[in-house]
Amino acid sequence: MCGIVGYIGFRQAPEICLAGLGRLEYRGYDSAGLAVITDNGQLDVRKVVGKIAALRELLQSQPLAGTIGIGHTRWATHGKPSVENSHPHLSCDGRIAVVHNGIIENYQELRSRLEAEGHTFTSQTDTEVMAHLIEKYYDGDLRAAVCRAVRDLQGAFAFGVICADSPGQMVAVRRFSPLVVGLGDGENYIASDMGAIRKETDRVYVIADDEVALLTPDKVELTDLDLNPVDREVFVIPWPADAAEKGGHKHFMHKEIHEQPDAIHACLAGRLSDPDKPIVLEDLNMSEREIKSLRKVVFTACGTAYHAGLVGRFLTEKLARIPAEADLAAELRARDPVVLDNTLCIVISQSGETADTLVALRDMKEKGAKVISVLNVVDSSIARESDGVVYIQAGPEIGVASTKAYTLQILTLELIALHFAEVRGVASPQQLHELKSALLKMPELAQTLLDREEDVKAIAAKYYQKPNALYLGRGINLPSALEGALKMKEISYIHAEGYSAGEMKHGPIALIEPSCFTVAIAVHGEVYDKMIGNIMEIKARSGPLIAVADDGDEQIPVTGVDPQADPDDVAGQPNDMLWVPPVPELVSPVTVAIPLQLLAYHAADMRGEHIDQPRNLAKTVTVE
Ligand code: M6R
């Protein structure tokens, strides 16, 4: 899981590649490197351990110059982060340079073969075999050599390749890992995603598996591995050039939290316009007959997207009355699920490239399920293998911690469940009207919640130094608790656990003491009274408590408060409140998400953490 970028044209490649790599850092950031072909036909390479900023610094003391270059930001899989293991990797003669995203599964076997043939390796990476394979096959035609080399590989990859002996060319190829080619005037680009080169161009080719792109400054040729031409429409990137920049916010995560009112609006547009009209979901690609004959819906995803899937499961059973399951993608295949006729698998992913999710999708398809995906990034690997795709329309999400994508995933799953309920005729017109009306108000409610940011910040200031947190929820807000805890732990490194409040007495209550704070989701609905009980239990054990509750609730702030308690005992303090506008319980995960995102953000910011690039994490996990 890494990011690659490349430039061929008339401008200086290092600057353009560095800027692109900066936008790809979410894919990995333990080391980085660049290779250019110099004006006198040599390959010149710079590599560092660390982030793109470190590479930029190195280039100040040891500049690179050339109008053809490839760059890489790495997230180590084979071989520790080191200069030797950083990309670009070179052939023995130093004339061919390769950058790679993915994993070459048969690299050991290839390496032994190449070593036996006399090739010398300088790194522990799987990638280096590709540089040597191309060297082995190169006879003056770089593209032909790349195609031959790719035939020897097993695994997932996207490569960018340059060769000092073919100085007017760059070759790129992919299988299972994302790759786009950007189109300019007298200059062209390659990148792992569109965001990396959006500043330079809005016209791209999205490369498919086993397709090869030959780039010169003036043209791009697409072929298959047998060099048969491939016809591909130019995709015009629908978002503006500055959409991938921070736009005045301190972090991308903050910007993305604040984009939610507009993003919610965009997600609803064309799908829900009137509480008395049916939901329109043409991209779902399911006939009424198919929807009526559904026997089971299986949700699968990883991380935050899985939490959205848990909300989807709840809605599908509650609203559409279809038996539903939700599995972590990495676990689904392991349990070898029984797939009945008319089973629908709903795959959820922001990136559309998560390897575990892709594997789960393939397994469910093989077992006979129809697969619909709920995605953000357009034309991803998951999109291409799905029977239907519903895009959440969030725009690029750069912060490693998913925020707006989560909110829109839930919103989209609300729309799908309502659509199923409508088509199957299992929900009353009143219920449909009430829920649709609430969803239509979501952009405005999201803005109201953002306007309360200073209140959330004040609560974060009170708690950010505590080492432990417990997030509790029930029913449709159990996933909100799991997601709130994930957000807190991944960016602030506060140890946070999400639990069903019903499980409290079966273990987690043992953790309650003054240094462990609890976030209890206690909005009105079927489980409200039970949440009151949990809050009392926590306060009785001197546990500090933050509650997420509906505006105007007078009970929760004082629930469990003991006026006789010692003034230093939190049992005597009123609860801290994250207020949310009241909405029907079935849509409340959308509103509850926002203050929990802000709480995690401000706690992490106060702790001075790297919010957009938390340690050990990458935005897109393209390896299992
Ligand atoms: O791109 P995806 O939605 O498939 O990614 C799934 C998870 O890797 C992702 O949600 C991860 O858990 C985030 N770091 C959460 O903030």
SS3 (DSSP) at 566 = coil
Give domain 3-244's CATH number out of 3.40.640.10, 3.30.420.10, 3.40.50.300, 3.60.20.10. Answer: 3.60.20.10
Q: In sequence order, what DSSP letters do the residues of 122-148 get, joined into one string?
A: -SS-STHHHHHHHHHH-SS-HHHHHHH
pLDDT at 568: 86
All CATH 3.40.50.10490 domain ranges of the chain, comma separated, are: 252-449, 453-606
pLDDT at 247: 62
pLDDT at 266: 85
Q: Which residue has the tokens 């203050």?
A: 595
Burial status of residue 276 (CB atoms within 10 A of its CB: 0-12, 13-18, 19 or more):
exposed
Any residues with Cβ below 6 Å from ligand 1, and which?
Answer: 302-305, 349-351, 354, 357, 400-402, 490, 617, 620-621
Q: In sequence order, what DSSP letters do the residues of 253-290 get, joined into one string?
A: HHHHHHTHHHHHHHHHTTT---TTS----GGG---HHH
| Blockwise average pLDDT, block size 10, the chain, 624 residues | 92 97 82 96 96 96 97 84 95 98 91 98 96 98 98 93 96 92 98 92 95 98 98 89 72 94 89 95 93 98 98 98 98 92 97 95 97 90 94 88 97 98 97 98 97 98 97 98 98 97 93 95 97 96 96 96 90 94 98 98 97 86 78
604's CB contacts (< 8 A; 6+ apart) are 464, 488, 491, 492, 493, 611
Q: How far is the CA of 402 from the centre of ligand 1 (A)?
A: 6
CB atoms within 10 A of CB 232: 16
Handedness of CA 311, 27, 194, 54 (dihedral sign): positive
Q: Are 101 and 622 in contact (CB under 8 A)?
A: yes
Candidate of 192, 304, 400, 597 to mutate for ligand 1, largest count of ligand atoms within 8 Å of Cβ: 304
Q: In sequence order, what DSSP letters do the residues of 184-196 get, joined into one string?
A: -SS-EEEESSHHH
**Rounded to 5 degrees, what are φ and ψ at 539?**
-65, -35
Q: Are 6 and 170 in contact (CB under 8 A)?
A: yes
Q: If you take atom 9 of ligand 1, which residue's CA is the nearest one? A: 303
Q: How far is the CA of 609 from the centre of ligand 1 (A)?
A: 19
The tokens for 79 are 């071989």
Q: If you take atom 10 of ligand 1, which residue's CA is the nearest one? A: 304
Q: How far is the CA of 620 from the centre of ligand 1 (A)?
A: 7
Q: How far is the CA of 46 from the centre of ligand 1 (A)?
A: 31
Q: How far apart are CA 102 and CA 68, in angstroms?
A: 23
Shortest CA distance to 354 belongs to which of 539, 47, 621, 582?
621
pLDDT at 186: 98
| Residue 619 annotated in active site | yes
35's CB contacts (< 8 A; 6+ apart) are 43, 44, 45, 69, 70, 71, 88, 90, 97, 99, 162
Cross-sheet strand order for the sheet of 545-550: 495-500, 468-473, 516-521, 545-550, 576-580
CATH number for region 252-449: 3.40.50.10490
Q: Are 145 and 138 in contact (CB under 8 A)?
A: yes
99's CB contacts (< 8 A; 6+ apart) are 2, 4, 6, 33, 35, 70, 71, 72, 87, 88, 89, 127, 159, 160
Q: How far is the CA of 322 from the centre of ligand 1 (A)?
A: 26
Candidate of 193, 253, 256, 302 to mutate for ligand 1, largest count of ligand atoms within 8 Å of Cβ: 302
Q: Are 371 and 364 in contact (CB under 8 A)?
A: yes
All CATH 3.60.20.10 domain ranges of the chain, comma separated, are: 3-244
Q: If you take atom 7 of ligand 1, which residue's CA is the nearest one? A: 303
Q: Please give the model's pTM, rounded to 2 decimal places.
A: 0.77
Q: How far apart are CA 512 and CA 518, in angstroms?
A: 8
Q: Are 587 and 312 in contact (CB under 8 A)?
A: no
Q: How far apart are CA 326 and CA 49, in angstroms?
A: 39
C-alpha distances (whole Å) from 171 to each of 93, 138, 234, 297, 540 are 19, 13, 18, 42, 66
**Which one is catalytic: 2, 147, 163, 516?**
2
Q: How far is the CA of 353 from the centre of ligand 1 (A)?
A: 10
Shortest CA distance to 516 belongs to which of 536, 541, 492?
541
**Rounded to 5 degrees, what are φ and ψ at 552?**
90, -5
Strand ranges for 324-410 from DSSP E: 324-328, 343-349, 370-375, 388-391
Handedness of CA 506, 594, 245, 179 (dihedral sign): positive
Q: How far apart are CA 597 and CA 590, in angstroms?
A: 11
| Residue 487 annotated in active site | no
Q: If you take atom 12 of ligand 1, which residue's CA is the nearest one? A: 303
Shortest CA distance to 191 belongs to which of 63, 258, 336, 203?
203
Using DSSP bridges, classify how beta strands 203-206 and 235-236 pair: parallel, antiparallel or unpaired. Answer: antiparallel
**Which one is catalytic: 51, 370, 489, 619?**
619
pLDDT at 296: 98
Q: Which residue has the tokens 């006198």?
A: 40
Question: What fold characterizes domain 453-606?
Answer: Rossmann fold (3.40.50)
